[in-house]
Structure formats: structure tokens, C-alpha cells
Amino acid sequence: MNEAFDRMIELFTLYYGQVSEAQSQAQKMLISELSTPVISISDTVGVLPLIGQVDDYKNSDFAKKVMLQAKELNLSCLIIDLSGAPSIDTMMTNELFQVIKMLDLLGIDTTITGIRPEIALTAVQLGIDMSKLKTYGKLKDAVNKLLHK
């Protein structure tokens, strides 16, 4: 009788773990899909707000999603707003600037807003050329400039 209960508890624990893991994966996929929303604010201008820990974007095909959404919306300019990201690591800073280069190849101008001192320092340490990049301290400044040319 004890062996039967032991086996039942063992199977229950195993199946519960599998269901829990499946739910966790489903939630991660949903978060991943919702985590890189390119929001159209005009016919040609969009905004990509990066919110929360930016390392969450690493495993979510960040670059591909951003480019596909920007192209799908037929944007000529994308504003990437970093003001909602408390920090960003070296690897993600590099990926972000790779996305900017890819968007440039697609003919989409990129503007960065809300750059924190840590992000600027990391970009400079990585040797990223920011001379051609438009930056604004606040999202509203970039939106006003781009929508009221």
C-alpha cells in the first residue's frame, strides 16, 4: 500500500511539474510577443517603447520582430524610447545598435529617446558611432519634431 501511494505521489509531482513548465513557457511566449510592440503614431512614424529589464528582450528575436513590425507598418521613422528601461547590459546595447543599423538598411530612420547615462557610457565603451543617430532626452520632444516637420 505504501509503495502504491509513493508511486502515486511521484507521478503526481512529475505531471504537476510538466504542466507548470508548459504554463510557464506559454506565458513567456506571450510576454515575448507583447514585449516588442511597435506602435504607429502616424502614417510614417512609429514608437518602440522598451520597458522593464532589457535583458528580457535577448531571447525573443528582438531584431527580427522590430524590423518586421516596422516594415509591416510601412514606417519611414522609428523612435526607440529607452526611458522605461532602468538598465541595459553591454550585450543588449550592442544588439540595440545592430537593430538600428538593420533598420537603416531598410530605409527606416531611427531616433533614440530617454538614453540614460549608463547606456551612453556602454555605447561609447563599445565604440558605437552615434554621430549620425538622432537622440532626444524625452519622447515628446522627438514626437513633436518628427510629426511637425
For residue range 107-136, list pLDDT tens digits in order. Answer: 999 999 998 887 788 778 878 777 788 999
Same domain, yes or no, for 103 and 54? yes
pLDDT, position 35: 60
- Radius of gyration from C-alpha coordinates of the chain: 21
Same domain, yes or no, for 47 and 25? no
Domain containing 115 — which CATH number? Answer: 3.30.750.24
Domain span holding position 19: 1-34
Same domain, yes or no, for 15 and 60? no
Task: Using the predicted structure, report yes or no on whether residue 54 has a pLDDT greater than 70.
Answer: no
In the numeric block, the cell 538614453 is attached to 115
pLDDT, position 60: 58
Give strand pairing partners of 136. 113
65 Cβ neighbours under 8 A, 6+ residues apart: 36
- How many angstroms separate the CA atoms of 112 and 92, rounded? 15
6-49 pLDDT per residue, tens: 899 999 999 999 999 999 888 777 665 556 688 899 999 999 98
pLDDT, position 34: 59
Give strand pairing partners of 110. 78
Number of compact structural domains in the chain: 2
Same domain, yes or no, for 11 and 24? yes
Give strand pairing partners of 18. none
Same domain, yes or no, for 72 and 86? yes
- How many angstroms separate the CA atoms of 80 and 82, rounded? 6
Same domain, yes or no, for 17 and 42? no
CB contact at 8 A, 138 and 83: yes
Same domain, yes or no, for 11 and 52? no
Same domain, yes or no, for 94 and 116? yes
Task: Using the predicted structure, report yes or no on whether residue 74 has a pLDDT greater than 90.
Answer: yes
**Could you count the other beta carbons within 10 Å of the beta carbon of residue 128?**
18
pLDDT, position 129: 77
Give the closest residue to 89 by CA, choosing from 53, 52, 130, 129. 53
- How confident is the model over 51-62, as a mean pLDDT? 64
Cα dihedral 57/59/60/61 (nearest 10): 110
pTM above 0.85, yes or no: no
Residue type, 98: Q
pLDDT, position 57: 56
